[in-house]
């Protein structure tokens, strides 16, 4: 594995079993649905991954656009949601080409860590252009510099306890010591942000933002931010 896109394009063991994967995507979908402003909304889930429960979100809006940089992921999404008329699958380049002010909600969950800061700045500027004046951007699962492995393990085990895959989680943690993800994380790294750094990046892109509690995902040491386009006052 030479980069993160290669990792997500290949088979991987990021989830310890199907119950873990389903619990993850169900909880994320339920969290995203709470941000949908109404049944006529157009929502974009950017860097959505396999989004196996995206129908939960689609049921609450007029159109749900799923976008992921990994072609293998997009192929699975296309096959899975072919029968759901208001779910569309797009490449990141197609998202960037959308008309200005065309989205009511953009969610980017557990993705910021895979971009360098300059790339994230450009992406946030694109989101600002795409959002309607009263739209919202949700940036979830941002990793702060002080995150530690013990906290990540504890959060996973709590999720496993609630969803009945404790033994599989314990075995998965042992395998992860030798996984491609762990190796790539050491070699390529992730990008970390403090709360103030993320708020600063959002402000620089033209947003008014605040940290949102709880975090979209199960690890509450990570952070979610909700941002709205800043109103220009004459």
Q: What value, to the nearest 5°, has the Cα angle with vertex 220 and ends 215 and 223? A: 50
What's the domain count of the chain?
1
Predicted pLDDT of residue 182? 63
Lowest-confidence region among 4-13, 197-206, 215-224:
4-13
Inside any domain, residue 33:
yes
Find the domain containing 44 and state its range.
4-229
d(CA 190, CA 147): 12
- In tens, the pLDDT along 127-144 reads 999 999 999 999 999 999
With a pLDDT cut of 70, the percent of the chain lying above it is: 91
Q: How far apart are CA 5 and CA 194, in angstroms?
A: 24
pTM of the model: 0.90
pLDDT in tens, 161-212: 788 888 887 777 656 644 566 666 666 678 999 999 999 999 999 999 999 9
Q: Is residue 44 part of a domain?
A: yes
CA distance 231 to 233: 6
Residue 234 included in any domain:
no
Contacts of 23 by beta carbon, 8 Å cutoff, 6+ apart? 159, 162, 163, 165
Q: What is the CATH number of the domain that holds 43?
A: 3.40.50.150
Residue 155 lies in a domain: yes
């Amino acid at each position: 594995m030479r980069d993160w896109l290669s990792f997500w394009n290949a088979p991987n063991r990021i989830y310890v079993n199907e119950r873990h994967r389903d619990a993850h995507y169900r909880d994320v979908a339920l969290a995203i649905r709470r941000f949908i402003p109404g049944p006529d909304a157009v929502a974009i889930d950017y860097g959505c991954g396999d989004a196996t429960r995206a129908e939960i979100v689609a049921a609450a809006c007029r159109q749900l656009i799923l976008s992921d940089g990994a072609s293998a992921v997009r192929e699975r999404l296309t096959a899975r949601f072919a029968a759901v008329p208001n779910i569309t699958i797009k490449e990141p380049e197609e998202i960037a080409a959308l008309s200005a002010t065309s989205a009511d909600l953009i969610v980017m969950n557990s993705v910021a860590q895979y971009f360098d800061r300059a790339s994230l700045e450009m992406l946030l500027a694109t989101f600002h252009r795409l959002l309607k004046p009263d739209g919202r951007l949700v940036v979830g699962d941002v990793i702060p510099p002080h995150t530690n492995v013990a906290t990540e393990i504890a959060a996973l085990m709590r999720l496993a306890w609630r969803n009945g895959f404790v033994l599989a989680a314990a075995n998965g943690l042992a395998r992860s010591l030798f996984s491609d993800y762990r190796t790539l994380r050491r070699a390529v790294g992730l990008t970390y942000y403090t709360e103030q750094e993320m708020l600063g990046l959002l402000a620089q892109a033209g947003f008014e933002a605040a940290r949102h509690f709880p975090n979209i995902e199960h690890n509450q040491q990570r952070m979610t931010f909700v941002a709205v386009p800043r109103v220009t006052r004459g």
